[in-house]
Amino acid sequence: MAVPVTSDPARPLPVEFLSAEHAASCIEAHCLRDGPVGQVGLEIEAHCFDVDDALRRPGWDELSEVIASVPALPGGSRITVEPGGAVELSGPPATGPWAAITALQADRAVLRAVFERRGLRLVLLGADPVRPTQRVNPGLRYQAMEAFFAASGSAAAGAAMMTSTASVQVNLDAGPRDGWAQRVRLAHALGPTMIAITANSPMLGGQFTGWKSSRQRVWSQLDSARCGPILGADGKDPASDWARYALRAPVMLINPPEAVPVTNWVPFADWADGRAVLGGRRPTETDLEYHLTTLFPPVRPRRWLEIRYLDSVPDALWPAVVFMTTTLLDDPGAAAIATEATAPVATAWDRAARIGLTDRRLREAALVCVSAAAERAPAELTESMELLTRSVQEGRCPADDFADQVVGHGIASAMSQLVKGEL
């Protein structure tokens, strides 16, 4: 069903797909890994600000120099720089949420100290409140992404997504095969409730957007074929749902070997079926793998599950948020509670991002879910869980705290306090 592509004889020949059906079978076979739950991987993005000038965006050379001076991190996290200069820590998988949390906390402490000695602060917010969008990472992939978004009529939203947003990402095992459908449905159903709880981006480009999570608003402005939820009508077969989603999504970039934008709308299925030709050929498995990295649904299958819908939240809160998200999916009792509690708001993505816990049904779901997590939290997380629980009980989210500071003291004062660590 596939033919080899002419290549260097010293390397294995890449194989072209001859049909979308063949590509779909490849996706279905590899998108989820059968096994127990328990491993947790964490990624956290932080906006980098100059302590003395919150409007200045540190450049690529400056960031690279600082990162080069970071000693070996105790938790083994990898440091990367997002297109707009946000700095990401990606921790290795750990056994259980507490081990993953403590490792990332240790790494963040080291990284933060190095940056602060250079007059820079790594701030945990879902969106940059004040600086205009600007790419500083010179990577060819990001240049090509800019060109794709411009050609598709979403240049502003694409630029904001790449350079002005930040998140906490929780990576969890897919679990046993016979539980995939229920687990993926719950991961999606939790989304609106967790967005309402963690919304931490009321401003973008120096203005209030009217949304508690401007980060989620930005994602909603991009095409749903690339950024919307992946579930099909019944959600009974997440592997097939993901294959269908990926094949319908337009190809953003081809990589022969440099990232090249595709500036017309070409679903991957059309490329695989030969209805469209990109790069003078049909796609290979390598092309498919690359295509999957350009899809950004709120829950993404990568053999494990990437939970991608959480705003970046302050150091006092993210440990509880991570524990809560993990527990509601990995603990059978908590998962049963969350399944019932979130059912009425399972698709309220935009409402959650716009008004958060001021929505009665979202607040009710959040109260049940945070209580289930708090009952199962270790003693070491008591302070963070109590802070999160109190916030939910009051119907507030981190965005409300920042907005109160801006309204009360002005954006200049609020930003100054934030980047100096006084908020």
Question: For the whole model, what pTM was predicted?
Answer: 0.94
The residue extents of the domains of the chain are 39-248+296-420
CATH for 39-248+296-420 is: 3.30.590.20
| pLDDT score recorded for residue 12 | 54
- What pLDDT score was predicted for residue 235? 73
pLDDT of residue 311: 98
pLDDT for 247:
97
pLDDT at position 6: 40
Q: Which residues of the chain, if any, have pLDDT below 70? A: 1-13, 232-234
pLDDT tens, residue by residue, 307-366: 999 999 999 999 999 999 999 999 999 999 999 999 999 999 999 999 999 999 999 999
3-state secondary structure the chain: CEEECCCCCCCCCCEEECCHHHHHHHHHHHCECCCCCCEEEEEEEEEEEECCECCCCCCHHHHHHHHHCCCCCCCCCEEEECCCCCEEEECCCEECHHHHHHHHHHHHHHHHHHHHHCCEEEECCCECCCCCCCCCCCCHHHHHHHHHHHHCCCHHHHHHHHHHECEEEEEECCCCHHHHHHHHHHHHHHHHHHHHHHCCECEECCEECCCCEHHHHHHHHCCHHHHCCCCCCCCCCHHHHHHHHHHHCECCEECCCCCEECCCCCEHHHHHHCCCCECCECCEHHHHHHHHCCCCCCEEECECEEEEEEECCCCCCHHHHHHHHHHHHHCHHHHHHHHHHHHHHCCCHHHHHHHHHHCHHHHHHHHHHHHHHHHHCCHHHHHHHHHHHHHHHCCCCHHHHHHHHHHHHCHHHHHHHHHCCCC
